[in-house]
């Protein structure tokens, strides 16, 4: 009988290592293609966004969460400073086998705590209407939808949504 996966089995590190960025881009590209039929445009969007994060990275204002099980990255999220005491939540992803164990909730709680610790007054994120489980976590953390727009940016028609929270 296989032992059920527990939240305690996951380690979270906050320092990027060589190979992490490429793997996170790959993870987004393959997972979003399989689950939502997003095209190469989405993978390119993620690569550009992560490049932007690395170029601007400030340990005092930015933060990463790299979730691992054994030695495999199974989740990722980052907080990116956007100036004016505003931060952006980006690239929140969990692989399917690691959903439903409380990891997403834990990451959102840590994100919200870090916003307060770093004296941010506002945070936002962009997602799509198809990300229902993630949207549930965002709303539970206090985020609300403030903008919606039709889009084909990821190779198919969808609705992009901006969520915001004020502290």
The CATH number of the domain holding residue 117 is: 3.40.630.30
- Using CB atoms within 10 Å of the CB of residue 39, give its burial: 0 to 12 exposed, 13 to 18 middle, 19+ buried: middle
Kindly state whether residue 138 falls inside one of the protein's structural domains. no
pLDDT digit string, tens, across residues 81-110: 999 999 999 999 999 999 999 999 999 999
Pick from 10, 2, 36: nearest CA to 99? 10
Domain membership of residue 58 (yes or no) is yes
Task: Confirm whether 156 is domain-assigned.
Answer: no
Task: Give pTM, 2 decimals.
Answer: 0.94
In a domain, 2, yes or no: no
The pLDDT tens digits of the residues spanning 124-151 come to 999 999 999 999 999 999 999 999 999 9
Percentage of the chain beyond pLDDT 70 is 98
- Write the CA distances from 34 to 28, 39, 98, 156, integer angstroms: 10, 10, 16, 14
- The answer to the question of residue 162 being in a domain is no
- The pLDDT value recorded for residue 3 is 65
Domain that holds residue 88: 7-121
Residue 6 — very low, low, confident or very high, per pLDDT cuts 50/70/90?
confident
Within a domain: 146: no
Q: Domain count for the chain, please give it.
A: 1
**Does a structural domain hold residue 145?**
no
Residue 117 lies in a domain: yes
């Amino acid at each position: 009988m296989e032992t059920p996966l527990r939240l305690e089995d996951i380690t979270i590190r906050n320092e990027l290592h060589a190979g992490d960025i490429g793997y996170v881009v790959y993870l987004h590209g393959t997972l979003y293609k399989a689950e939502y039929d997003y095209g190469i445009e989405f993978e390119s969007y993620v690569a550009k966004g992560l490049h932007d994060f690395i170029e601007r990275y400030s340990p005092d204002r930015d933060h990463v969460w790299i979730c691992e099980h054994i030695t495999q990255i199974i989740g990722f999220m980052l907080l990116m400073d956007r100036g004016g005491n505003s931060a952006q939540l980006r690239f929140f992803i969990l692989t399917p086998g690691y959903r439903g164990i409380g990891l997403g909730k834990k990451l959102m709680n840590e994100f919200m705590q870090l916003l307060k610790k770093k004296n941010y007054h506002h945070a936002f994120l962009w997602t799509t209407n198809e990300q229902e489980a993630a949207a549930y976590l965002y709303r539970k953390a206090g985020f609300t939808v403030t903008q919606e727009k039709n889009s084909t940016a990821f190779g198919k028609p969808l609705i992009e949504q901006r969520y915001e929270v004020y502290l």
